Every structure is written in structure tokens, then in C-alpha cells.
Amino acid sequence: MLPQKIDRYEIKAELGRGGMAAVYKAIDPRFKREVAIKILPAAFMHDAMFRARFEREAQTIASLEFPGIVPVYDYGDENGQTYLVMRYMPGGSLADLLKQGPLPIDEVKRIFERLTSALDYVHSKGIIHRDLKPANILFDLHGNAYLSDFGIVHLADASIALTGDALIGTPSYMSPEQARGDGDIDHRSDIYALGAILFEMLSGRLPYEATTPMGIAMKHLIEPVPRILAVKADLPAACEDLIARAMAKERDKRFQTASEMAHALEAIAVQAGASPSKTLTPAAAPEVIPATSKP
């Protein structure tokens, strides 16, 4: 069942499957390194819409260069099968990590710092991720977080919607304007998704649950922002305002940049770390590089 090779890449194992493709671990014999390959199922190879979506993904990621973004190495076509070669991320996904439960606030802060600066960078290029979720946040060996899967990104100024009016993205983290199918989505939909991800990282629970995707989407549209302290009472009280702002139904009321949200989280984490009941972590101490140390 496992394809043995695609072009020069030797397929070793399946890493997972998503909405449109399978991802394999492979070896690139030229560099003798492990890579991850996303292959479009053969059944889709004649489907112009899926092909276009895949090609767009390849080109978009290739244009992004930033520490918190999974780098793309190659992209190609073999016998009508399209594939994307990217860095293999041995640390698994945030979705895997969250299966063990919520994360300590200092850890959340550390992951967020990296993701939010990458996201600000992406947004500054006019790109919206549109499908931020824990499965699309991957880790390297050192526990550094990376954004991946710009599969449904669109340039903010492009009016071509490859997927038409279909419900795309994962409703669990979907902004109300995406759930409504508004045509003028902007980067603040990603801020909302980040708010929903933060809710899950801190509490171990999704902000809204329902038995169907439609039910979840409806809750994002109409239900008030859930109170995180009702789920996890020992969190700093300020977390509630932070989530309420990130997940505000009206995007004008949200944080306007991802870093703004990270700063608010950092302030809470430092405050929590400074309280006598908890140990002060090195992350809470500012890193000061003396000017004289420069050559």
C-alpha cells in the first residue's frame, strides 16, 4: 500500500492524513536526510480544483522564510502525482501534545512567542493562514514550534476562492466570519483561531463542543465566549479577558496583531511566575545583552 518512491525520495512511513493529502516520512538520498512529503491522492490528480490548491500551497510556503514556519524544500510532479517536500518535524504536532492535557502557562507563553512572530510576518505579506489548529503546529527536536499547512491560504487581496462557498477549515477554531462565509476575511480570523488554540492549550478543552461540525460552527457564531476559569479555575484571572479579546465576535474588538496577544499573555505569565506560590522560571527574566559584548 505504501508507495516506495516518488522521484528520488524513498518513502519510509506514513505520518498522517488530513483533509486532502497523505504525509509520509521519506529519505532524500541526495542529502541523506529525512524529509516529510505531502502527496496528493491519485484520485484527485485530474481534479483541477485540488491541484490548484496544492500548487498554491507549495508556492506560498516557498515564499515564506521565517524561523517559526516549516520550510519547504522541493515541489514536483511525477506521473501526474503532485508532491511537496518539507522539513521533517520529529517533535510531532501540538495536537499530539495536547492529548496529554493542558500545558503550563510558561510553556504556552514560550510556544506563543514563536508562533505569533511567525504569524505577524505572514500577515505582513498579506497572507492569511485560515486553518490554524493544533494539527498544523509542529515541533522540531528542540521543542521549537512551527506553523505548517498553508493549504488554504489565500492572498488577502485575491478574490479567487478556490474552494467556493464550501465549508473549509476546522470549525473547532473557526472565526464567526469564516463560519458565516463572509467574503472579506482578514488576518484577524487567524487571531481568533489563535484565541481558540490558546483556550485549549491552557484548559485542555475546546472552547465549543457539539456533535456535528455545523453545531460547532453555530456556537462560534452565536454563543458568548466561554469562560476559561469555569473549565480550569486555577488559571490567573486575567486569562479570561485575554481569551475574550482574542475570540471577540467582532474582529475590531480583537487583538489587532498576533504579537499584541503574545505580549498580553507574557504579562500574565510573568505575573503568575512572580507570585510567591510558584517558582520563578528563567523565561520570566529579561535577557539583557550588554552593548559592550558586540565585536
- Determine what percent of the chain falls in helix, strand and coil, rounding each to the nearest 5: 40, 15, 40
272 vs 106: CA distance, rounded Å = 9
Q: Is the Cβ of residue 148 or residue 178 nearer to ligand ATP in the bound state?
A: 148
Task: Decide if residue 57 touches Mg ion (CB under 5 A).
Answer: no
- Residue 214 dihedral angles phi and psi, to the nearest 5°: -65, -40
- What beta strand segments (E) does the chain contain? 5-6, 9-17, 22-28, 33-39, 72-78, 81-87, 127-128, 137-139, 145-147, 154-155
The binder of ligand ATP chosen from 20, 62, 162, 221 (CB under 6 A) = 20
- Binding string, residues 114-143; x marks residues near ligand ATP by CB under 6 A: -----------------x---xx-x-----
Beta bridge partners of 77: 82
Q: Given candidates 5, 17, 180, 278, which one binds ligand ATP under the rule CB under 6 A?
A: 17
Nearer to Mg ion, 149 or 177 (CB): 149
The distance of closest approach from Cβ of residue 244 to ligand ATP in the complex, given in angstroms and rounded to an integer, is 27
Give the Cα separation of 172 and 148 in Å (integer): 18
* DSSP conformation class of 69: B
Minimum distance of ligand ATP from residue 251's CB (angstroms): 23
Residue 140 falls in the annotated catalytic set:
no
Residue 267 CA: distances (Å) to CA of 102, 206, 223, 274: 19, 23, 28, 11
Residue 33 binds ligand ATP (CB under 6 A): no
Q: Give 170's contacts (C-beta < 8 A, 6+ positions apart).
A: 131, 133, 135
146 bridge partner residues: 138
269 forms part of the interface with ligand ATP (CB under 6 A)? no
- Site membership for ligand ATP, residue 62 (CB under 6 A): no
- Order of strands, sheet of 81-87, starting from the edge strand that comes earlier in the sequence: 5-6, 9-17, 22-28, 33-39, 81-87, 72-78
Query: Residue 149, interface with Mg ion (CB under 5 A)?
Result: yes
Residue whose CB is less far from ligand ATP, 26 or 248? 26
Distance (Å) of CA 152 to CA 34, 112, 256: 26, 22, 22
State which of residues 3, 16, 76, 213 lies at the interface with ligand ATP (CB under 6 A): 16
Task: Give whichever of 17 and 278 is closer to ligand ATP, judged by the CB atom.
Answer: 17
Out of Mg ion, ligand ATP, none, which partner does residue 112 contact, by CB within 5 to 8 A per kind?
none
Per CB under 6 A, the segment of 5-13, 53-61, 84-92, 254-262 that binds ligand ATP is 84-92
Q: Is 253 in the site for ligand ATP (CB under 6 A)?
A: no
Cα 83 from Cα 79, distance rounded (Å): 11
Q: Name which of ligand ATP, Mg ion, none residue 20 binds, using a CB cut-off of 5 to 8 Å depending on partner kind.
A: ligand ATP
Q: In the complex with Mg ion, which residue's Cβ is closer, 106 or 149?
A: 149
Q: Which residue from 82, 136, 172, 175 is in contact with Mg ion, where contact means CB under 5 A? A: 136
Contact status: 19 vs ligand ATP (CB under 6 A)? yes
Where along the sequence are the contacts to Mg ion (CB under 5 A)?
18, 136, 149
Active site members: 131
Where along the sequence are the contacts to ligand ATP (CB under 6 A)?
15-21, 23, 36, 70, 86-89, 93, 131, 135-136, 138, 148-149, 151
